[in-house]
Structure 1
Amino acid sequence: MEKLEVPEMPWTREDAFHPPAGLAGLRAGPPARVRLPSGQTAWLVARHADARALLSDPRLSSDETRPHYPQLIPVPPATGTLSFLRMDDPDHGRLRRLLTTEFTVRRINAMRPGIERTVAESLDAMVEKGPPADLVRDFALPIPSQVICQLLGVPYDDHEFFQDRSAKILETNAPLEEGARAMGELTDYLASLVDAKVREPGDDLLGRVAPGIAEGRLTRDELVFMAGLLLIAGHETTANMIALGTLTLLVTGEWAALCADPARVGATTEELLRHLTVVQFGLVRTLLEPVTVDGVTMEAGDGVVISLTAANRDGAHFPDPDAFDPDRAQGHHVAFGFGMHQCLGAALARLEMDVVFTALAARLPGLRLAVPVEDVPFRHDQFVYGLDALPVAW
């Protein structure tokens, strides 16, 4: 009876450019119980201040092996953890430290010339084919895929394989067996690649980390799932930010402003990250001990869903939060999460977006939609929000 009284978590967007309207009502009060599509119940946290506080609170666990760990959707039998994303310390810290030198600001900035070259080549190819073009297929997806492949040491020739498997893994409406099969196939592929890096390390991220297996710093399986996390997150999130960001700039009129003043690109990128927040369903945790937020006590063992999309539209922190305004004072959005699990690739994603929007605005200031905005296919059924296609002309 109690389960039936718990409202369903707001899941469906009424407007493709805004989070589900129900999140605003939940944000108006303290954390509230919601029922997840998986059938579990969990506390939904929607306020910006609460999200930041809980994401840095050691009383919340990311360990998916704990009893009652909340799953947003029904999941198939476990095929392996997503590396440190679903771990607590000390294992989380041990694995994350193996990557910190790979994602320093200095190392990421050193990648700029290569990223600029990749962007220019992709633009050349798209322009040569002529309009209309699909900005997702011809530009937004190839660029981060090539960048993450170069960083990791994954052959880009295999991009169709891993892009297809990644999409199936992230799809919320796919049959459980299909998602499990895609995960298994991607895992087998990456295991073979890791084995090759163990034999011949090479000068790439996987090659530099692979010797740690023999040194006892991590296991083969840990590196395989680490590679899977980096590969999926490294191209899916940035590709969708590029495509969805371009569409947002076009429909809001901010494209012309960016073309007229390329110095706006940094602020534009930050506002796109806040406004769109493509990790659309939130981050999940389990409470290790009771935690009280806004007068509500959540008990040990309870599940928590922290809605990044709701937090980034919190009017108590961002004035006029539903407006897209690159000129707003930056207010520390949580698009990359916060705390010990904050996205390692944040600096890389920002750099890619800055380079992409600078080059695209300089080369194609006349960029426009080739179809009515109502005909643009949004990815409502994916954990990473975005577009399946973006027909454009110039």
Structure 2
Amino acid sequence: MSGDDSPPVHVRRQGFDPADELRAAGTLSRITIGSGADAETTWLAAGYGVVRQVLGDHQRFSTRRRWDRRDEIGGQGIYRPSELVGNLMDYDPPEHTRLRQLLTPAFTLRKMRRLRDSIEQIVSERLDALEQAGSPADLVGLVADEVPGAVLCQLIGVPRDDRVKFMRLYHRHLDASLSARRRASAGEAFSRYLLAMIARERKDPGEGFIGTVVAEHGDTVTDEELRGACVQVILAGDDNISGMIGLGVLALLRHPDQIAAVRGDDQSADRAVDELIRYLTVTYAPTPRIARQDVTIADQVIKEGETVTCSLPMANRDPALLPDADRLDVTREPVPHVAFGHGIHHCLGAALARLTLRVVYTALWRRFPALRLANPGQETLFRVTTPAYGLARLMVDW
């Protein structure tokens, strides 16, 4: 497949589903991303088995980017831009092993359970805002886009009064509509805030992510690593959870017979959330893998130095994972899907994402049992230029 000005094949969607041209790409194929001087050829892994094999093989596939021709794949002590320090996805073992072990205690199930009351309060406040806006109202702008940032700030330990400014700086840093200078200025201010916060936490650790890490491993983690880890937590969580809230609500409204599950007991709600995560898979692909050596997969030879992009939505719709994979069924028993990745780079915040989604879906339908689409016949506006798939707007009545 040749590159052009249209979106890369691996990010193309049709409503909730992978696009036809993505399905036609096959289990493992070559694609070109971009065009002209920016064109880049990569392998596209789309089959469930192949995606699991690539993501699970950190010995033969590296996630760390190379910035110089002399930079050995997986080499140690090689130059890494400051913005990637602390980003787990740019680390291979043993660097990755050390850093992940330092960060994992902040994401234990016990920690997540302690966060639940705060998440429920955040969600309740956003549902208050939805109700106060009056019917019809935009669920994406009032709930889906607001809940993740507040939850992530709570996780990290950002004071409540600083959260709006903190997330505004974060979003401005990533806003492609702004000039490079303005984006850089926002990024520098965002970084300064995090470093100042880390300095405070080192003196008096709180119960948030930063406080937990410095209290247990203060002498073995640097300020830059902590700053980078915080950035990655927000980058990995904000768009993904926002996309899942909006799309999940829309999917349930289009399958009203399945809404009862999110209002049921914890087990049925957890099962429903897991199925929505699999069915929607808002992350297009994780960090590309670079072959450390020649590798034969699905009768294809991936040569040393070549890149593999793994399509998570396609892998999760593969009949090899489960029968009738294109159908949403919130009563299914959970399957080992790859929406959160696989292997040593499996998403560190997966438990937080599941918990947040369960709280949102459950609270939403308990507060608004008659929730419905305001304009069922209106064209749905999807987000296709953000890091994760989602909705631009979702007007609802109740």
Q: TM-score range with shorter-chain normalisation? A: 0.7 to 0.9
Pick aligned residue for 2:388 from 384, 390, 393: 384
Instruction: Answer yes or no: is 1:63 the counterpart of 2:64.
Output: yes
After superposition, the C-alpha distances for 1:156-178 in whole angstroms (9 at most, x for unaligned) are 43444444454456667877666
CA–CA separation in structure 1 for the residues paired with 2:305 and 2:378: 43
TM-score normalised over the length of structure 2: 0.85
- Equivalent residue, structure 2, for 1:205: 209
Q: Which moved more, 1:229-238 or 1:8-17?
A: 8-17
- Equivalent residue, structure 2, for 1:18: 17
Helix, strand or coil at the partner of 1:366: coil
CA–CA separation in structure 1 for the residues paired with 2:18 and 2:181: 29
CA shift, 1:59, in A, is: 1.0
Q: Which moved more, 1:47-56 or 1:176-185?
A: 176-185
Q: Which moved more, 1:251-260 or 1:79-88?
A: 251-260
After superposition, the C-alpha distances for 1:231-290 in whole angstroms (9 at most, x for unaligned) are 232333212211111011112334544367556322211111011111124431111111
Helix, strand or coil at the partner of 2:194: helix
CA 201–274 in structure 1, closer or farther in 2 if over 3 Å, else same: same
Instruction: Answer yes or no: is 1:251 the counterpart of 2:254.
Output: yes
Conserved 8 A contact 1:172-1:381 = no
Instruction: Answer yes or no: is 1:239 the counterpart of 2:242.
Output: yes
- Equivalent residue, structure 2, for 1:222: 225
CA–CA separation in structure 1 for the residues paired with 2:61 and 2:49: 16
Pick aligned residue for 1:34 from 31, 34, 42: 31
CA 212–331 in structure 1, closer or farther in 2 if over 3 Å, else same: closer
CA 324–175 in structure 1, closer or farther in 2 if over 3 Å, else same: farther
List aligned pairs for 1:1-150, cutoff 5 A: 9-11=8-10, 13=12, 15-27=14-26, 29=27, 31-37=28-34, 38-57=38-57, 58-65=59-66, 80-81=83-84, 83-150=87-154
Letter in 2 for 1:63: R
CA–CA separation in structure 1 for the residues paired with 2:130 and 2:245: 15
Instruction: Answer yes or no: is 1:154 the counterpart of 2:158.
Output: yes
- Equivalent residue, structure 1, for 2:332: 328
- Equivalent residue, structure 2, for 1:355: 359
- Equivalent residue, structure 1, for 2:344: 340
Helix, strand or coil at the partner of 1:43: strand
CA–CA separation in structure 2 for the residues paired with 1:219 and 1:212: 13
Helix, strand or coil at the partner of 1:149: helix
Letter in 2 for 1:97: Q
Instruction: Answer yes or no: is 1:264 the counterpart of 2:263.
Output: no
TM-score normalised over the length of structure 1: 0.86
Letter in 2 for 1:34: I
CA–CA separation in structure 1 for the residues paired with 2:377 and 2:30: 35
CA–CA separation in structure 2 for the residues paired with 1:141 and 1:304: 31
CA shift, 1:95, in A, is: 1.2
After superposition, the C-alpha distances for 1:90-116 in whole angstroms (9 at most, x for unaligned) are 221111111211111222123223322
CA 228–109 in structure 1, closer or farther in 2 if over 3 Å, else same: same
- Equivalent residue, structure 1, for 2:77: none
After superposition, the C-alpha distances for 1:174-217 in whole angstroms (9 at most, x for unaligned) are 776666555444323322322332343333221232467862x1
Letter in 2 for 1:315: P
Conserved 8 A contact 1:256-1:365 = no
CA shift, 1:294, in A, is: 0.9
CA–CA separation in structure 2 for the residues paired with 1:298 and 1:176: 36
Q: Which moved more, 1:304-313 or 1:356-365?
A: 356-365
CA 373–278 in structure 1, closer or farther in 2 if over 3 Å, else same: farther
Query: What is the aligned-residue RMSD (CA, Å)?
Result: 3.1
Conserved 8 A contact 1:287-1:302 = yes
Conserved 8 A contact 2:262-2:272 = no
CA 201–259 in structure 1, closer or farther in 2 if over 3 Å, else same: closer
CA–CA separation in structure 2 for the residues paired with 1:33 and 1:193: 45
- Equivalent residue, structure 2, for 1:194: 198
CA–CA separation in structure 2 for the residues paired with 1:240 and 1:195: 33
Pick aligned residue for 1:290 from 290, 294, 298: 294
**Structure 1: 5+ residue stretches without partners:** 71-76
Q: Percent identity?
A: 35
After superposition, the C-alpha distances for 1:106-131 in whole angstroms (9 at most, x for unaligned) are 22123223322332333234324432
CA shift, 1:53, in A, is: 1.4
CA–CA separation in structure 1 for the residues paired with 2:223 and 2:287: 27
CA 291–229 in structure 1, closer or farther in 2 if over 3 Å, else same: same
CA 265–212 in structure 1, closer or farther in 2 if over 3 Å, else same: closer
Count, aligned residues: 383
CA shift, 1:43, in A, is: 0.9
Conserved 8 A contact 2:119-2:151 = yes
Helix, strand or coil at the partner of 2:288: strand
Letter in 1 for 2:236: A
Q: Which moved more, 1:329-338 or 1:193-202?
A: 193-202
CA–CA separation in structure 2 for the residues paired with 1:41 and 1:296: 15
CA 255–288 in structure 1, closer or farther in 2 if over 3 Å, else same: same
Conserved 8 A contact 2:291-2:306 = yes
- Equivalent residue, structure 2, for 1:73: none
